[in-house]
Structure 1
Amino acid sequence: MFVEGYRPSALQRLYFERYSGALRADHPDWSAERVRDAASRYVSPPEIAPHSAGAAVDLTLMSADGRELDMGTRVNANPEESDGACYTHAPDVPPAARGNRRLLGDALTAAGLVNYPTEWWHWSYGDRYWALATGAEHAIYGACERT
């Protein structure tokens, strides 16, 4: 099931700022750099966000009768609420969810997409992370703003 694809830069900025603010509130002793690094595990900084380039999709699996399959967490579960189970290869994910993640991953990898490993649902093609993961010379896509 397709959950989300292109995301306008303004919305990406809002998501990043909202999550950074929550981390700052939960950890008032953290430096600005630490907050930014921690926020970047879950929400890409607006200036490099693959969703804002139209290069990323968030997906999950559905059964033939329309039921969402067990993936171990909900789509968009953050590292704090999921206790790290949102990471693609989290060790404490139930066997059925692990199998479903493997099925999703095998299909999308075969199609040339790469997974961002802190979000089992996030897959991209042509962005900076894709270029790094595949050894491509450069990203195909950069940020764009729809008008």
Structure 2
Amino acid sequence: MPAKPYWDIPIFESEEPLVSMPKDAFVYADPHPYMALGAPYGDASPFCVREGVLAALLDAQSALQRRQPHWKLFMFDVYRPVAVQKFMVEQTFDELLQAKGLDPSGLLPAQVEALWEEVYQLWAPPNLDPKTPPPHSTGAAVDLSLFDTYAQETVFMGSPIDELSARSQPDYFGNLARDLTVATGDRNTAALAHAHRQLLYEVMHQAGFQRHPGEWWHFSLGDQMWAWRSHQETPIKSYTAKYGRILQDGE
């Protein structure tokens, strides 16, 4: 299990409550993608956040609609208990085996380790250690995209959320659009995807969020990753996290 660079950030829990997101404020994935797979949410809702995160999301949506009046933020996945994180990590490992046509019973330990490293490029480990919680278990992280309410469809972003490939890198299509060896039509398509990713980044960053360095769709505010990314952006300042893992009943 590879260590994440933000695990050393201290958490000073604010005790801010987890709240449900207003039904009409945003557009939500329906059916929820992980629930549809059977992820064990129990009584928890995937569309909950800390109070301060919800306020910032509403600010981001207001900024978005000043630039694109008929677009909304599209919530793919928000709150994720550690049990769900574990389920999705294992699900992704199985999908990776299938995609590569591999039989798990015949793999060498080094091959298994390499596969897990690939999985953990996308997913945070399902830690129960309160000092190193998965970002989504804190109620501070959101996976989201953009939605066109006129067309009634998600906006073109170049690649789907959770894709395990280089296309998930935030600047992938920006680099492609600048590559003069790529066909003109492909450069134009890449430029459009990059422009949409940049719009999402700009309205979220303006509202106080930080983006995951390897995922165009993942943003957080107040958790360890947010503090780590904020320090990278402003090295002269020191940052700590104010949101730790939300404990479930029985934990």
Task: Please give the alpha-carbon distance, in whole angstroms, between the structure 1 residues aligned to 2:96 and 2:82.
Answer: 21
Whether 2:228 is the aligned partner of 1:132: answer: yes
Q: Name which of structure 1's ranges 117-126 and 95-104 shifts more when overlaid on structure 2.
A: 117-126
Which of residues 94, 103, 117 is equivalent to 2:190? Answer: 94
Q: What does residue 3 of structure 1 align with?
A: 76
Query: 1:2 is paired with a residue of what secondary structure?
Result: strand
Task: Please give the alpha-carbon distance, in whole angstroms, between the structure 2 residues aligned to 1:113 and 1:134.
Answer: 9
The equivalences for 1:1-147 within 5 A come to 1-23=74-96, 26=100, 28-29=107-108, 30=110, 33-47=113-127, 48-65=133-150, 66-79=152-165, 84-90=166-172, 91-92=175-176, 94-135=190-231, 136-147=238-249
Percent sequence identity over matched residues? 29
TM-score by length of 2: 0.52
Equivalenced residue count is: 143
TM-score by length of 1: 0.84
Query: Gaps (5+ residues) in structure 2?
Result: 1-73, 128-132, 177-188, 232-237
How far apart are 1:32 and its partner, in Å?
5.2
| Structure label with greater radius of gyration | 2
The Cα RMSD (Å) is 2.1
Query: Gaps (5+ residues) in structure 1?
Result: none
How far apart are 1:20 and its partner, in Å?
3.1
17 and 120 in structure 1: CA distance in 2 versus 1, 3 angstrom threshold: same
Query: 2:76 is paired with a residue of what secondary structure?
Result: strand
85 and 13 in structure 1: CA distance in 2 versus 1, 3 angstrom threshold: same
After the TM superposition, which segments of 4 or more aligned residues of structure 1 sit over 6 Å from their partners? Answer: none
Q: Name which of structure 1's ranges 134-143 and 70-79 shifts more when overlaid on structure 2.
A: 134-143
Query: 2:146 is paired with a residue of what secondary structure?
Result: coil
Contact in 2 for aligned 1:9/1:145 (Cα 8 Å)? no
